[in-house]
Amino acid sequence: MGYLMFAFVIGLGVPIQTAVNSRLRSYVLSPYVASMVSFSVGTLFLLMLTLLTQHTVMIPSTTFTSNPWWIWMGGLLGVIGLTTNILLFPKLGGVQTVILPIMGQILMGMLIDSFGLFQSPTHPFNIFRLIGMMFLLIGVYAIVVLPHLRNRFSKPADGPLLPWQVLGIVAGMLMATQSSINGHLGKLLHSSIHAAFVSFLVGTIILVIIVCSMRKLGNIRFALGNTPWWIWMGGIIGSFFVFGMSFLVPIIGTGMVVVMGLFGQIICSICIDRFGLLGATKTDIKRIQVVGIILMLCGVIMIKMF
Three-state DSSP string of 152-172: CCCCCCCCCCHHHHHHHHHHH
Predicted pLDDT at 153: 46
Instruction: For residue 27, tell me if it sits in a domain.
Output: yes
Residues 107 and 173 sit within 8 Å (Cβ to Cβ): yes
What pTM, to 2 d.p., does this model score?
0.81
Between residues 45 and 16, the one the model is more confident about: 45
Instruction: For residue 64, tell me if it sits in a domain.
Output: no
Instruction: For residue 65, tell me if it sits in a domain.
Output: no
Instruction: For residue 80, tell me if it sits in a domain.
Output: yes
Predicted pLDDT at 79: 85
What percentage of the chain carries pLDDT values higher than 90?
A: 25
Long-range contact pairs involving 150-159 (C-beta distance under 8 Å, separation at least 24): 152/93, 152/95, 154/92, 154/93, 157/91, 157/92
What radius of gyration, in Å, describes the C-alpha atoms of the chain?
A: 19
Residues 81 and 191 sit within 8 Å (Cβ to Cβ): no
Instruction: For residue 26, tell me if it sits in a domain.
Output: yes
Residues 292 and 118 sit within 8 Å (Cβ to Cβ): no
Residues 2 and 194 sit within 8 Å (Cβ to Cβ): no
Check pLDDT > 50 for residue 112. Answer: yes
Check pLDDT > 80 for residue 125. Answer: yes
Predicted pLDDT at 155: 47
Which candidate, 211, 172, 195, 14, places its Cα nearest to that of 81? 172
> Picking from 138-147, 169-178, 186-195, which range would have the lowest pLDDT averaged per residue?
138-147
Instruction: For residue 214, tell me if it sits in a domain.
Output: yes
Between residues 20 and 189, the one the model is more confident about: 189
Instruction: For residue 63, tell me if it sits in a domain.
Output: no
Query: How many domains does the chain contain in total?
Result: 1
Question: Strand, coil or helix: what is 76?
Answer: helix
The mean of the pLDDT values for the chain is 84
Predicted pLDDT at 302: 82
Question: Strand, coil or helix: what is 110?
Answer: helix
In which domain, by residue range, is 219 found?
2-58+70-152+160-305
Q: Which residues does 297 contact at the CB level (< 8 Å), separation at least 6?
A: 139, 263
